[in-house]
Amino acid sequence: MSMYRFAAVGEEEAVFGFRALGVDAFIVKSQDDAAQVLTEARKGGYAVIFVTEQVARAVPDVIEGLGDEPLPAVLIIPGVGGSLGLASKRMKTIVEKAVGADILFQERG
């Protein structure tokens, strides 16, 4: 049984708290950093990487690229400013691609 760890990638004020629980925090200082920091986090061999919406929005292509591999799993979490609904939007596109129609998310937009 091997243990994988977590990483959190995001702005400092959103991810510093994760360190209290032994999650490795990767701090993104500006939008231009995002891709680089994310790539670095990816090399760390984490099972789950939490990414704040702000970062995910800056580098959507990197996030999509991670989708095809079994690990790591990327979880988009709302940043300090509250949820932008980015994660639901992403799920919506995935469902649409698979099913060919928007079947579940109509009520939520």
Partner 1 sequence: MREGSRCGAVMEVRVSPTRMQLLRLKKRLGMAERGHKLLKDKRDELMKKFLDLIREEQALRRRVEAGLAKTLPAFLEARAAMSSEALEEAFMAPKVSCGVDVATRIIMNVKVPEFTWLGEKTRDVYPYGFFGTSASLDDAVAGLSELLPVMTELAEVEKSIELLADEIEKTRRRVNALEYVLIPNLRSTARYITMKLDEMERGNLTRLMKVKDIVRAKQA
Residues within the interface to partner 1 (CB under 8 A): 1-6, 13-14, 16-23, 47-48, 50, 67-68, 70-71, 73-75, 77-80, 82-83, 87-88, 91, 94-95, 97-100, 104
Closest to partner 1 by CB, 39 vs 94, is 94
Closest approach, Cβ 107 to partner 1, in A, equals 11
Pairing, β 6-10 against β 48-52? parallel
Closest to partner 1 by CB, 28 vs 79, is 79
Closest to partner 1 by CB, 32 vs 83, is 83
Closest approach, Cβ 16 to partner 1, in A, equals 7
Closest approach, Cβ 66 to partner 1, in A, equals 9
Give the tokens for residue 65: 């690229």
Closest approach, Cβ 109 to partner 1, in A, equals 13
Mind giving me the DSSP string for 41-81? HHHTT-SEEEEEHHHHHH-HHHHHHHTTSSSSEEEEE-BTT
DSSP 8-state assignment for residue 101: S
Give the list of residues 6+ apart from residue 102 with CB closer than 8 angstroms, or none: 92, 95, 96
